[in-house]
């Protein structure tokens, strides 16, 4: 939940949950300004017979949180794993890392399918028992036909889409039609080196740190709300290829942590920023 800060928010939420017999397991909160700023809260609770009691609980939360306190809120069941569809191109490190973590049960998600504009990783993906779909890229500026095919595959089958080094720029129409959050891994510590070829740009700039950024995708290229970032130290002796190789380790770690946070409902989007509990 999030909204304008005011006294009594935590008490109001706790009282509603207590009246319904819930036991609060954890409660995280953040205020960006104690003098009338924005308030963010994530509450984890257990409730016997939750499925039966959800309608009554939701009705009271709506009355107290939305109507009385003016908060934006949502209620999620942790037992329901999110359906995550992965889009990839030719680079396999981020994709295979997510598939491996999924198989080990490290991320609470299901993967209904992997979609790629190349066939290079088809056998690897199917080796994990996951369907693979090939949707070739369309050369030229008009990618509406390939995007339409991808949307048809995603619609109704995903709670989120992850771009695991999917090297295509998605249109605003695609983002609107797909209707679920889209998470991207950018092989740079944004806002530095936006766009293509960041390792070459980093080498030319002589940086001593390279990094990766996982963010939600918006219409503005590489400008969406940041979920996770990390860096690794490099030196003048590293070539652009060295930077790319070292960067791959950071990319897969950053993306997996971002996907985990999203699947565990620990991310609150607020404008172009995120609060990650």
**Tens-digit pLDDT profile for residues 137-187:** 877 667 889 999 999 999 999 999 999 999 898 999 999 999 999 999 998
Q: What is the pLDDT of residue 274?
A: 97
| Exposure string for 21-59, b = 16+ CB within 10 A, e = fewer | ebeeeeeebbeeeeeeebbbbbbbbeeeebeeeeeebee
C-alpha distances out from residue 163 to 73, 89, 175, 196, 217, Å: 27, 9, 12, 15, 9
Q: What is the pLDDT of residue 191?
A: 61
pLDDT bracket for residue 72 (50, 70, 90)? very high
Identical fold between 2-68 and 82-276: no
Q: Per residue in 218-229, pLDDT tens?
A: 998 888 999 999
pTM of the model: 0.91
Q: Where are the alpha helices (DSSP H) in the chain?
A: 9-19, 50-61, 93-103, 122-127, 144-154, 172-178, 198-205, 240-263
- The fold of the 82-276 domain, in CATH, is Rossmann fold (3.40.50)
pLDDT bracket for residue 49 (50, 70, 90)? confident
Q: Which two tokens stand for residue 58?
A: 């939701």
Q: Per residue in 115-128, pLDDT tens?
A: 999 999 999 999 99
| Exposure string for 115-128, b = 16+ CB within 10 A, e = fewer | bbbeeebeeebeeb
Q: What is the pLDDT of residue 241?
A: 85
Beta bridge partners of 273: 270
The arrangement of secondary structure in 2-68, i.e. its CATH architecture, is 2-Layer Sandwich (3.30)
Q: What is the pLDDT of residue 137?
A: 86
Q: Per residue in 268-277, pLDDT tens?
A: 999 999 999 9
Active site positions, annotated: 222
Instruction: Give the residue extent of every domain in the chain.
Output: 2-68, 82-276
What is the SS3 assignment for 186?
strand
């Amino acid at each position: 939940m999030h909204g304008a800060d005011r006294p009594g928010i935590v008490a109001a939420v706790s009282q509603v949950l207590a009246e319904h017999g819930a036991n609060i397991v954890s409660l995280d909160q953040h205020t960006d300004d104690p003098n009338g700023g924005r308030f963010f809260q994530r509450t984890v609770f257990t409730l016997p017979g939750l499925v039966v009691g959800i309608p009554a609980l939701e009705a009271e939360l709506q009355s107290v949180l939305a109507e009385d306190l003016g908060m934006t809120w949502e209620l999620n069941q942790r037992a329901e794993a999110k359906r995550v569809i992965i889009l990839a191109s030719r680079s396999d490190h981020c994709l295979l890392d997510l598939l491996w973590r999924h198989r080990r049960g490290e991320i609470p998600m299901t993967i209904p399918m992997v979609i790629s504009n190349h066939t290079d990783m088809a056998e690897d993906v199917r080796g994990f028992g996951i369907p693979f779909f090939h949707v070739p890229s369309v050369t030229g500026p008009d990618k509406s036909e390939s995007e339409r095919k991808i949307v048809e595959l995603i619609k109704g089958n995903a709670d989120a889409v992850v771009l695991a080094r999917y090297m295509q720029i998605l249109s605003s129409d695609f983002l609107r039609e797909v209707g679920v959050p889209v998470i991207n891994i950018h092989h740079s510590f944004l806002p530095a080196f936006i766009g293509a070829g960041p390792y070459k740009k980093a080498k030319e700039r002589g940086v001593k740190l390279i990094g990766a950024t996982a963010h939600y995708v918006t219409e503005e290229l590489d400008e969406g709300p940041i979920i996770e970032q990390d860096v690794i130290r490099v030196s003048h002796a590293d070539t652009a290829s060295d930077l790319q190789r070292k960067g791959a380790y950071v990319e897969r770690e950053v993306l997996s942590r971002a996907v985990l946070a999203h699947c565990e409902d620990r991310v609150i989007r607020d404008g172009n920023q995120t609060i990650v509990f």
